[in-house]
Amino acid sequence: MRRWNGRFAGAVGCMLAAAAVAALSAAAANSAAAPQPKDDAGWLKRHEAMNARVKEGHAGLLWIGDSIVERWEKQGRPVWDTYYAHRDAVNLGISGDRTEHVLWRLQNGNLGGGIAPKGAVVMIGQNNGPHNTAEEIAEGVTAIVAELRKQLPETKILLLAVFFRGEKPNDEQKKLAQTNDILSKLADGSHVFYLNVNRIFLLPDGSISKDLMPDFEHPNREGCRVWAEAVEPTLAKLLGDDAVKP
């Protein structure tokens, strides 16, 4: 009987190990949810600069994303200074990033230094369009939200719908619209909130306004202004401060 029990325990152990391997394999199959750094010196340099910045503390607000977020430091700088500088905002956007890159960054120092921001604005997933399904992209964003909740449990997360790109309606836009539908369900009314402001960049025929997004992907200065105005009422409420007046 003792030998049989040993064999039974061994068999159960093997089954559990096999199940664990299967689960890991399933997760790995979705590249959007598997943390991954970029093999790029410029990317790593900016990542390390971000880590150094958060170690300085006084980070009241985080903006997390890709080139669309990074461009707050360039075309959107005047708007950023008006809406976010006084909130000690930190820009955690890197051009070309997909969800897996952001997830890796958050797990490797971007949230370090003991910071306790009131809010974190997340807008990521557009660059996953050519590589992943709508469900996979949503899973990647969900992993990012989970990481934020894990490391910054008191921070309010404002999850923005992924921006579309391409002048005319296209298949990728349809995919990202499906992603946004899934992401909207992450809102819990307590710590995670969802906001879709994509309409401000669209013309009546569904095409993207060249006046606000000249390359049909990134907001210019005017695009950043109307973007900030659209986000401000919700963001100010989450942060518990006075909204910036247009």
Q: Which residues participate in catalysis according to the annotation?
A: 67, 215, 218
- Tokens representing residue 131 in the block: 């590589």
Give me the amino acid identity at 73.
Answer: E
Contact criterion met (CB below 8 Å) for 154 and 116: yes
Distance CA 29, CA 24 (A): 9
